């Protein structure tokens, strides 16, 4: 990464000033101000290269009488970047090599009792966990007490329906709860599940594991994914060619690692 913060950057003799780069920096989060400045300069260089190329190609999309830069760039890519279609054989190979990606979602039917406690009150969390363990011991002796204990102790609105959470699928609840519940087998969990909200006493009533999906069901999704990957690489190569053919000064671009051609 090499950018002189005192000299302007030029692209085929078009000057990108340090003020331009400073204004652009707000759109580029980075670990250091230097990295953010470099990313901003890099983005402006590539934007200018595309503007110049679109002008040479006679491509300009206007909206409400003004040049729509993003639409113009999209039209330029459409006109000048060749993206081969993904063949069914490629889709089949991807499917065969990644079977774990093509399963129906697992479903868990569960009930819980939430013993709420603030995440930053360590003393209270220790005490509440002891209460949760004691309630689990009661349920080990008599699981039919669950509805009553939920009604009495739970801080979740589900207490009104015996703690029922219904059918849970991935993404339907907070990650730390989901990760632990989906690892359970049917029955009472003998340890309280801790989340940012407190401690959960959980019974899994039913668990339906995800099942492999047939190729015909997912081939369109695979084709779209592969097509996106191919287009991504093609656009990256196109931008690298524009950079290689241009006269650029004031910044040393590493074309292979440039964030804005990835």
Q: pLDDT value at position 39? A: 92
Strands 2-3 and 251-252: antiparallel
- H or E element at residue 237: helix 215-245
- H or E element at residue 48: helix 33-57
Q: pLDDT value at position 218? A: 95
Q: What is the mean pLDDT of residues 155-162?
A: 95
pLDDT tens profile 185-223: 999 999 999 999 999 999 999 998 888 999 999 999 999
Strands 187-188 and 164-168: unpaired
Count CB neighbours of 243 within 10 A.
18
Contacts of 20 (CB under 8 A, 6+ apart): 44
pLDDT at 10 over 90: yes
**Sign of the alpha-carbon dihedral angle for 149, 151, 154, 157:** positive
CATH number for domain 2-86+219-261, candidates 1.10.443.10, 3.40.50.300, 1.10.4030.10, 3.40.640.10: 1.10.4030.10
Contacts of 14 (CB under 8 A, 6+ apart): 48, 52
pLDDT at 4 over 90: no
Q: Under a CB-based contact definition with an 8 Å cutoff, are residues 73 and 50 in contact?
A: yes
Query: Mean pLDDT over all residues of the chain?
Result: 91
Count CB neighbours of 8 within 10 A.
16
pLDDT at 138 over 90: yes
Domain 107-208 has CATH 3.10.50.40: yes
Strands 187-188 and 251-252: unpaired
Strand ranges in the chain using DSSP code E only, listed in sequence order:
2-3, 9-11, 14-16, 62-63, 66-67, 107-116, 164-168, 187-188, 193-195, 198-208, 248-249, 251-252
Q: Rounded CA gap, 54 and 193, in Å?
A: 57
pLDDT tens profile 214-248: 999 999 999 999 999 999 999 999 999 999 999 99
Q: Which of 81-85, 98-102, 256-260 has the lowest mean pLDDT?
A: 256-260
Tokens standing for residue 150 = 């939920």
Domain extents in the chain? 2-86+219-261, 107-208
Contacts of 6 (CB under 8 A, 6+ apart): 18
Q: Rounded CA gap, 201 and 3, in Å?
A: 56
Tokens standing for residue 17 = 């000033």
């Amino acid at each position: 990464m090499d950018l002189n913060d005192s000299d302007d950057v030029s692209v085929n003799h078009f000057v990108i000033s340090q003020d331009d780069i400073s204004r652009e920096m707000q759109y580029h989060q980075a670990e250091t101000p230097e990295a953010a400045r470099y990313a901003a300069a890099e983005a402006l260089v590539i934007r200018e290269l595309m503007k110049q190329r679109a002008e040479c190609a006679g491509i300009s999309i206007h909206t409400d009488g003004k040049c729509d830069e993003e639409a113009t760039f999209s039209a330029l890519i459409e006109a000048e970047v060749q993206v081969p279609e993904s063949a069914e054989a490629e889709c089949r190979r991807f499917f065969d090599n990644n079977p774990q990606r093509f399963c129906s979602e697992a479903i868990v039917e569960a009930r819980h009792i939430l013993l709420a406690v603030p995440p930053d009150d360590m003393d209270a969390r220790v005490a509440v966990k002891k209460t949760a363990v004691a309630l689990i011991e009661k349920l080990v002796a008599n699981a039919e007490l669950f509805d009553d204990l939920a009604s009495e102790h739970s801080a979740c609105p589900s207490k009104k329906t015996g703690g029922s959470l219904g059918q849970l699928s991935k993404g339907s609840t907070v990650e730390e709860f989901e990760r632990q519940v989906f690892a359970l087998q049917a029955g009472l969990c003998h340890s309280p599940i801790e989340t940012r909200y407190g401690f959960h006493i959980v019974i899994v009533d039913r668990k339906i594991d995800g099942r492999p999906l047939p190729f015909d069901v997912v081939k369109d999704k695979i084709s779209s994914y592969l097509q996106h990957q191919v287009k991504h690489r093609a656009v990256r190569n196109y931008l690298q060619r524009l950079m290689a053919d241009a006269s650029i000064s004031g910044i040393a671009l590493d074309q292979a690692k440039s964030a804005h051609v990835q």
